[in-house]
Amino acid sequence: MIHWGFMLRVDTPHTITQEGWKWLLSEARFPFNFDGEIFGLGFLLEDQLREFGFRGSEAGQEADFVDVDRVIHAASEAVNWLELVAVKPLVGGLKPFEAWKLKNSGVYDVATFDDQVVTKGTQVDWPPLIGKIY
C-alpha cells in the first residue's frame, strides 16, 4: 500500500522490456514506494513507461499507471485495479491515514507517514475490516 505518486501496477498482461524491469526494481524501496504489487513513483514518467511496454490513459480502465496526485478522488474510477482505503489504527500512537492499494490485494503491511511499517490486524486495519488479531 502506497500513499502518493504516480501509481504503476506490476502484474500486467503486457510484455515489459528487461530494461524497464531493471530500472523499476532499482527504484524500489519496499514498502515505502513498492509493496510487491504496485509502485508509487514520485515523478511523471509516462513516455518512459510506455517505451518499457506499460499502457497509459489511452487504455482506459485497463491502463497500467495513473497519477493519483493529479486525480486523487477519481483515480480509482480511472483504472479498475486501484483503490484508496482508510487505514484505521488498532493501537495507540498512530493516526488514521489513507493509502492506495491494489484491489483484491495480498499485501498486509503499510508504511505510515512517519516511515513506520505497520501490519493489518496487528497495528492497523482497513476495509474489508478484520479487527485485531494476535
pLDDT in tens, 69-116: 766 566 767 888 998 999 999 999 999 999 999 999 999 999 998 889
Q: Give the residue among 37, 101, 96 at the shortest CA–CA distance from 68.
A: 101
The region of weakest confidence among 35-44, 46-55, 93-102 is 35-44
**In this predicted model, which residue has the larger pLDDT, 30 or 75?**
30
- List the domain boundaries for the chain: 6-125
**CA–CA separation, 128 and 105 (whole Å):** 11
Cell of 132: 485485531
Coil, helix or strand for 59?
A: helix
pLDDT at 27 over 80: yes
Which 3 state secondary structure label does DSSP give 47? helix
Interatomic CA distance for residues 103 and 82, integer angstroms? 6
What was the pLDDT predicted at 76?
Answer: 67
CA gap 73, 106 in Å, rounded:
23
